[in-house]
């Protein structure tokens, strides 16, 4: 994954205490982090809360950010760990919500494109969380397998397996041929 021009300068300014520089980093990555968490959570409010926690954690740890790393990968890694922690701590609550929440709340309605997103959102629910995260990054956010492995803290081979099996399961669930 390429580093956006000026990202290193923004990181250095944020490390020096510039909230304006950190705010620009957030602006550059906020939409992608929220979309990733929404794919994982299915609950937009929960995803937005986790995104907020992600950026608060990033701000508190910006001084420990390794120079030369991608801010985007770092943020996705924090977001994924926030999701896992929340999931472990609230497993029973989440299970009840997933069973009782109307699917209309997953994505806003608005025609065929919205119907396709709804079908994909439903299909993603059949995947285990690690598999869903790998698929969301590699197929949804167009991360390379290596970048997804770095962001999720998983071995490259595991990511490749998750994407391959997850894609096959999604296609089967959606009733789409792989030809």
Q: What's the pLDDT band for 94 if we cut at 50, 70, 90?
A: very low
| DSSP calls for the chain | -PPPTTHHHHHHHHHTT-HHHHHHHHHHHHHHHHHHHHHHHS-HHHHHHHHHHHHHHHHHHGGGPPTTS-HHHHHHHHHHHHHHHHHHHTHHHHHHHHHHS-GGGTS---SHHHHHHHHHHHHHTTS-HHHHHHHIIIIIS---HHHHHHHHT--HHHHHHHHHHHHHHHHHHHT----
pLDDT in tens, 113-160: 445 555 667 777 788 889 999 998 998 888 999 999 999 999 999 999
Task: Identify the structural domains of the chain with CATH numbers, from first to last.
Answer: 1-101 (1.10.1740.10), 107-179 (1.10.10.10)
Q: Higher-confidence residue: 42 or 61?
A: 61
- Is pTM beyond 0.75 here? no
Q: 6: which 2 tokens?
A: 């000026």
Cβ-based neighbour number of residue 58 at 10 Å: 22
The predicted pLDDT at position 172 comes to: 87
């Amino acid at each position: 994954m390429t580093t956006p021009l000026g990202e290193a300068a923004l990181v250095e300014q944020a490390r020096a205490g510039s909230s304006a520089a950190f705010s620009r980093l957030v602006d550059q990555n906020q939409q992608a982090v929220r979309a990733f968490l929404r794919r994982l959570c299915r609950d937009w409010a929960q995803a937005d809360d986790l995104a907020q926690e992600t950026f608060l954690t990033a701000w508190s740890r910006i001084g420990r950010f390794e120079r030369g790393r991608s801010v985007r990968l770092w943020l996705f890694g924090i977001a994924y760990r926030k999701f896992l922690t929340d999931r472990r701590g609230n497993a029973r609550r989440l299970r009840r919500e997933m069973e009782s929440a109307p699917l209309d709340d997953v994505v806003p309605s608005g025609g065929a494109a919205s119907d396709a997103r709804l079908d994909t959102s439903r299909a993603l629910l059949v995947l285990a969380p690690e598999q869903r995260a790998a698929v969301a990054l590699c197929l949804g956010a167009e991360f390379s397998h290596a970048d997804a492995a770095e962001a999720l803290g998983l071995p490259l081979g595991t990511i490749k397996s998750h994407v391959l099996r997850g894609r096959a399961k999604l296609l089967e669930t959606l009733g789409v041929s792989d030809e």
